[in-house]
């Protein structure tokens, strides 16, 4: 019963102030070492239907999984440096060796729909902090164990931050 | 002829680096005193289809027009303070007296689809700088001269930064 309350409160749309202080928003690593994720404006949390905005911080050495999604994604790097790996190969069997790009403070880039990508904080000393914007929330992510896994074998997941709201049973009447 | 070249280069998708330095992106006030607008990721400029991201800076005293649009919009305040005016009254004849909200550094809010709104830098000393995210680009904006103009009399405009790309004639073959 208490678990139900906790879940409900993490997924609630109502009762939030209209103008929210980002530094007071819930922050979680969702079981991933080195990641801090804040949903600034989200589908499950705030009722967004067309865009979602996140603030993500990666500790030195931490990274996203190799993944793809069928929505647009825009990044704005606020702090730190890192590497973007991008495989523009949704038309062939598997991602293959990705292109590499340096990312830096005040840089921006967007991920083409369905291109496999990974972002790594390759800086040993500094956090990498980024705003991420996606279309068509909630995002469904297909995860690859490596760059040579066939697209058809990538594993479907809701991201960690949506899992609890989207996959938990609907609220219990008791 | 030279005007054609200028327009084409402002609306070009190709030839941009994949990771872009925001401080090197073109910046314009589009004839509006006190406004600096940078399209970080845009429909006309970068081929975005589902989201668009802007960086906007308002000098003390400057403001957006009172306007509405039928897309979602999320703001993240990076610097400065100001006031959001919001009239949640798309179901009645005109916006009417808006609600007032203080906005501050590291705050976020989103504008419900079709709600009339205005953002004002009400701080006499500091710039107000915000990231804005919209869905369904390019945005079509309906502008109100005041809060009591009927919704049906608001004037349709592409925003200043898209006008040149979206309303100029297609490129001359000569
Ligand atoms: Zn992604
Ligand atoms: Zn707006």
pLDDT tens sequence across A160-172: 667 666 654 444 4
A25/chain B closest Cα distance in angstroms: 10
DSSP assignment of B60-93: TT-BPPEEE-SS-EEEEEEE--EEEEEE--TTSS
pLDDT for A174: 47
pLDDT for B87: 96
Q: How far is the CA of A170 from the centre of ligand 1 (A)?
A: 27
pLDDT for A33: 80
User: What residues of A are in contact with residue B110 (Cβ under 8 Å)?
Assistant: 41, 46, 48
Q: Which helix (H) or strand (E) holds B133?
A: strand B128-135
User: What residues of B are in contact with residue A102 (Cβ under 8 Å)?
Assistant: 19
Q: How far is CA B44 from the centre of its chain?
A: 14
User: What residues of B are in contact with residue A20 (Cβ under 8 Å)?
Assistant: 107-109
Q: What is the ipTM of this complex?
A: 0.86
Can you read off the two tokens belonging to residue A98? 């990705």
B50:A41 CB<8 A: no
Least CB–CB distance from A49: residue in B41, B72, B86 = B72
Tens place of pLDDT per residue across chain B (174 aa): 333 333 334 555 566 789 999 999 988 877 778 999 999 999 988 999 999 999 999 999 999 999 999 999 999 999 999 999 999 987 899 999 999 999 999 999 999 999 999 999 999 999 999 999 999 999 999 999 999 999 999 999 877 667 666 654 444 444
Interface test with chain B among A13, A16, A17, A18, by most B beta carbons within 10 Å: A18
Least CB–CB distance from B72: residue in A19, A48, A109 = A48
| Phi and psi based region of residue B118 (left: phi greater than 0; alpha: psi -120 to 50; beta: remaining) | beta
Residue pointed to by tokens 């080195």: A34
A40:B108 CB<8 A: yes
Task: Tell me how far apart the alpha carbons of residues A87 and A89 are, in angstroms, rounded to a whole number.
Answer: 5
Task: Tell me how far apart the alpha carbons of residues A39 and A36 are, in angstroms, rounded to a whole number.
Answer: 10
B42/chain A closest Cα distance in angstroms: 10
Q: How far is the CA of A155 from the centre of ligand 2 (A)?
A: 38
């Amino acid at each position: 019963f208490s678990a139900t309350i906790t879940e409900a409160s993490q997924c609630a749309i109502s009762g939030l102030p209209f103008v929210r202080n980002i530094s007071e928003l819930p922050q979680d690593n969702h079981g991933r070492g080195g990641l801090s994720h804040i949903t600034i404006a989200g589908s499950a949390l705030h009722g967004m239907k067309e865009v979602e905005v996140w603030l993500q911080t990666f500790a030195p050495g931490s990274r996203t999984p190799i993944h793809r999604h069928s929505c647009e994604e825009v990044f704005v790097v606020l702090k730190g440096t890192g590497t973007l790996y991008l495989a523009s190969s949704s038309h062939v069997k598997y991602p293959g060796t990705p292109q590499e790009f340096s990312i830096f403070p005040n840089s921006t880039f967007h991920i083409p729909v369905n291109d496999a990508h990974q972002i790594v904080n390759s800086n040993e000393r500094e956090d990498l902090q980024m705003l991420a914007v996606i279309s068509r929330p909630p995002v469904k992510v297909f995860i690859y164990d490596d760059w040579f896994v066939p697209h058809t074998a990538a594993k479907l997941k809701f991201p960690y931050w949506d899992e609890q709201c989207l996959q938990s049973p609907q609220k219990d009447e008791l």
